[in-house]
A and B are shown apart, each in its own frame.
Chain A
């Protein structure tokens, strides 16, 4: 297993970092040290200050999409996990309902994305329904191929990654602690904020790491649901690759990696991941 990871994960990662500091021309990479991959990426950024250049805007937008998705998946994921862990009483039902949440995860992401088209499109169900009851006169254009649809699809696809670890933490909470909280006179809300949330923190952190890393690097969902019009960190890499500018793609990958590692290390400060498995 280590061999597989070494060959297909560690070595590629090292190469990305090395190649990011290579020179390149229109059609090939040149193994000579150069920061062109980085400087080309941020071309004109210093000159344009204090206005943000396109590349910085793109990274900021990626972070923004990521934060919105994170918040939504967290709230939905936490609520679903809470229901499964504390309100579903028999083990069998817990398994059945968890499976119900898991099955979509085993099916294709692309299909789950295109599935939104008949609902959100100009002639889609949502627009027709809203026009039918007279809320709007014209079809809403921002429903599909917009940031709204991107976030919707991301939440749709990745809430699962929140539900599982949070549920996993919650089922380990000793139920007597909650009873004790009630006996001591805590309201439901106080029990939630003072007992349940602190004890399910490991799950929340693990789920957050999943969602944030996936969304930061995503280019497929943003591509399909954004109608190939919205830029993101992942899409920069993809378009550099399509232009065969490998060092530039690698440079962007290193930047993305740096941001991701920063976020993860901040999160792992809060909890020791290994202890929780």
Chain B
């Protein structure tokens, strides 16, 4: 580190700092403004400091049922997280060997990732609508009469909504798994096999502990992407709304800082999840360093 840094370093460092300020500045503006006094408006200056607007959000005054949307988003986020982790790890393992349809699955995942969200959302909405129509029209003939009569829709948070979110989170999970296994030393598994481990034991005691920090990272992506997902949910969520959708709706109607308070609360959840995930990753890595490798230490 001793040698002198070139002038370009300082220019680029300044650019980088400006970029970070650009990223964070506006966010902190609304975090501060959400503590606006009771008479304060949507912009600076602060008119006193208070928790008035947080109280408004919790009491639900003037805002649609935020508490319920909050819980819905939380539940959906957790389910998406678990499914993303399970499916991504399974697919990641499968991709280490070539299998039939591997490249089709890969390109599908990439396409799903870069497909404009509105198209995915529209497609899912159509799919469920057509399914509903079909059931209502033909259900009676198929002996499902009583059932079809009361049928309204299959669309909902945990059917179409869940599906829409998975088309967004799974590609990220898969790409992270690729990144992990690109650097993974396959000889570790061979060693485990040579020592008589079953495939499951190899996975459970050798592979999983090594990839665990990254798996936590996939979970982090799964939850946060679902928690904030908007475009894909917009048409596919059914009759109830998730938190980001409510928030987007509020941008056109609300003129008081309670929208900032809600934004601050939503971000607080995000930051909490990020902090927990990063802490877990750090702890896991520290443990790996402590227990992990005794290579090169010789016989003690």
Contact = CB atoms under 8 A, between A and B. Distances in A.
Nearest to A274: B106
- Main SS at interface, chain B: helix
Contacts of B274: 103, 106
B87 A1 contact: yes
A214 B231 CA distance: 10
A123 B33 CA distance: 14
A99 B278 CA distance: 10
Contact of B228 (A8, A89, A107): A107
B118 A213 contact: no
Interface string B252-278: 100000011001001100110110001
Contacts of A264: 114
A9 B116 contact: no
Nearest to A2: B105
Nearest to B163: A8
A151 B130 CA distance: 37
A92 B228 CA distance: 29
B20 A100 contact: yes
A1 B30 contact: no
A219 B170 CA distance: 23
Contacts of A116: 26
B247 A256 contact: no
B79 to A, nearest CB: 13
A233 to B, nearest CB: 8
A108 B259 contact: no
Given A83-B15, A217-B117, A12 B26 contact: no
Nearest to A277: B178
B47 to A, nearest CB: 12
Interface stretch (B48-56, B121-129, B188-196): B121-129
Contacts of B105: 1-2, 5
B114 A210 contact: yes
B90 A250 contact: no
A103 B179 CA distance: 19
Given A9-B167, A111-B266, A156-B23, A97 B116 contact: no
Interface residues of A, number: 77
B43 A108 contact: no
Main secondary structure of the interface of A (DSSP, over half): helix
A203 interface: no
Interface string A117-148: 11101011100100000000000000000000
Contact of B19 (A80, A113, A228): A80
A171 to B, nearest CB: 12
Interface string A79-98: 11011100101000000010
A216 interface: yes
Nearest to B166: A4
A12 B124 contact: yes
A150 interface: no
A202 interface: no
18 contacts: A1-B90, A1-B170, A2-B105, A4-B167, A5-B167, A11-B123, A83-B15, A111-B30, A113-B251, A117-B30, A118-B30, A123-B41, A213-B115, A217-B117, A246-B122, A246-B126, A249-B122, A257-B116
Interface of B: 1, 5, 8-9, 12-13, 15-16, 19-20, 22-27, 29-30, 33, 41-44, 87-88, 90-91, 101, 103-106, 108-112, 114-120, 122-127, 129-130, 160, 163-164, 166-167, 170, 174-175, 178-179, 182, 220-221, 224-225, 227-228, 230-231, 234-235, 244, 247-248, 251-252, 259-260, 263, 266-267, 270-271, 273-274, 278
Given A115-B30, A256-B119, 20 more contacts: A12-B127, A16-B119, A103-B274, A106-B224, A107-B27, A107-B270, A108-B263, A113-B251, A115-B29, A116-B26, A118-B30, A121-B42, A123-B41, A213-B114, A216-B116, A234-B118, A237-B119, A237-B122, A241-B122, A264-B114
